[in-house]
Amino acid sequence: MTATADIPKVELHLHLEGAAPPAFIRGLAAEKGVDLSGIFGADGGYAYTGFVDFLRVYEAACTVLTGPQEFYRLTKAVLEQSASHGVVYSETFLSPDFCGNCDIVAWREYLAAIRQAADEAEAADGIILRGIITPIRHFGPEQAKLAAACAQDTAGDWICGFGIGGDEMQGKPKDFRYAFDMAREAGLGLTAHAGEWGGAVSVRDAWRDLEVARIGHGVQAIEDMALVQALADAGVVLECCPGSNVKLGVFDSWKNHPIERLRAEGVKVTVSTDDPPFFHTTMSSEYEHLAEEFGWDEARFAEINRTAAEAAFCNEETRARVLKKLETAA
């Protein structure tokens, strides 16, 4: 089998700030004279005790991403990593909350810097990046509307999706319906984190109340086989991040992760890293685990990547380029 790093990959679920290498954040903190020592462990990696603490550490790391230039540098660093693991197309979650607190003029400047870095990475490594605007659930519905206004302002070929991340146990999906309607009217593809912590019912609620085409994680749907069947029948795509789930304790081991059972039931599953350095993972490492635990081979990975390319929120011209990158390498 081809080395896992050499398999061309499509990644649909990657938080840009969550992909910041710890050394990158430490370097920015030193430049700015900010003491972030509390978020790092003895090994130099991010240190947290569980999901809610992970969100705290994540937000603390974001405090040194103070302007467009920092996001330019972050995007370059992240895409270099992704490309080294064979990623040919990536959709990244971007939160205007961390880019000038949802001020539209500031957001445009941050986005211009991120896109400049993406253009340079594409010219250097061929990797294609697109953005999904992502409000944060525990910041509340009113803040989400501000992010949706940023989404409306910059929707197009590059900002092609809208999602929601953050603490799934705060509020209900329907609280965010207005923001999602704004995004839908702007023509954006829709996804929502659900079924990472809130069980099958949260997948059902997000799907029904936000009318999303994709679910971030969604893996707890496995608790309700009628829901699994409905997801399969409707062709809803799950952005599975098994390494993230195992590290955060959603499932106690790779062996017990439901990605293969969901796939076997006909659900469209895809594979992503979520926040790679936080979870000590990479796309290559995810693939190695999937090959080891579930016997996934090159044909299976090719199928999963085609599913992901078909579910990408980019325009058809970009999708054709991505499919070509998958085919030519096969």
The catalytic residue positions are: 196
Bridge partners, 11 (sequence order): 90
Q: Which does 166 bind (CB under 5 to 8 A by kind): ligand HPA, Zn ion, none?
A: ligand HPA
Joined tokens for residue 232: 């399969």
Instruction: Answer with the entry of ligand HPA, Zn ion, none that 131 interacts with (C-beta below 5 to 8 A by kind).
Output: none
Q: Residue 190 CB, nearest distance to ligand HPA (Å)?
A: 16
Residue 70 binding result from ligand HPA, Zn ion, none, given CB thresholds of 5 to 8 Å by partner type: none
> What residues contact 105, with CB distance under 8 A and at least 6 apart?
none
DSSP state of 107: H
The contact mask relative to ligand HPA for 22-61 (x = CB under 6 A, - = no) is ------------------------------------x---
Smallest distance, Å, CB 113 to ligand HPA?
21
Please enumerate in sequence order all residues whose Cβ is within 8 A of that of 302, keeping only pairs 6 or more positions apart, or say none: 326, 330
Helices marked H in 126-237 = 141-154, 177-185, 199-210, 225-234
Q: Which does 273 bind (CB under 5 to 8 A by kind): ligand HPA, Zn ion, none?
A: none
Residues that bind ligand HPA (rule: CB under 6 A) add up to a total of 10
Contact 187, 158 (CB under 8 A): no
Binding track over 247-286 against Zn ion, x by CB under 5 A? ---------------------------x------------
- Min. distance of Cβ 209 from ligand HPA in angstroms? 18
Amino acid occupying residue 16 = L
Binding ligand HPA (rule: CB under 6 A), the pick from 196, 205, 239, 286 is 196
Rounded CA separation 231/180 (Å): 20
What whole-number distance in Å separates Cα of residue 63 and Cα of residue 28? 10
Nearer to ligand HPA, 171 or 323 (CB): 171
Looking at the Cβ atoms of 52 and 226, the one nearer to ligand HPA is 52
Contact pick of 165, 189, 198, 218 for ligand HPA (by CB under 6 A): 165
- Residue from 70, 97, 274, 286 touching ligand HPA (CB under 6 A): that is 274
For residue 272, the minimal CB distance to Zn ion (Å) is 8
What separation, in Å, do the N-terminal and C-terminal C-alpha atoms of the chain show? 12
Using rule CB under 6 A, residue 242 touches ligand HPA: no
> And the tokens for 161?
């999706």
Cβ count within 10 A of residue 126: 13
Where residue 18 falls (left for φ over 0; alpha for ψ -120 to 50; beta otherwise) is alpha
Identify any residues that bridge with 10 across adjacent strands, giving them in sequence order: 89
Considering only residues 68, 166, 218, 242, which one is a binding residue for ligand HPA as defined by CB under 6 A? 166
Q: Least distance from C-beta 105 to ligand HPA, angstroms?
A: 25
- Alpha carbon distance 59, 143 (integer Å): 16
Judged by CB under 5 A, how many residues of this single chain contact Zn ion?
1
Q: 181, 112, 194: which is closest to 148 by C-alpha?
A: 181
Two tokens, residue 185: 């009217």
Angle at 164 between CA 162 and CA 165, to 5 degrees: 140
* Cβ distance to ligand HPA smaller for residue 203 or 326: 203
Q: Of 4, 8, 18, 296, which lies in the binding site for ligand HPA, with binding defined by CB under 6 A?
A: 18
Residues that bind ligand HPA (CB under 6 A): 15, 18, 58, 165-166, 193, 196, 244, 274-275
Residues of this chain that interact with Zn ion (CB under 5 A) are 274
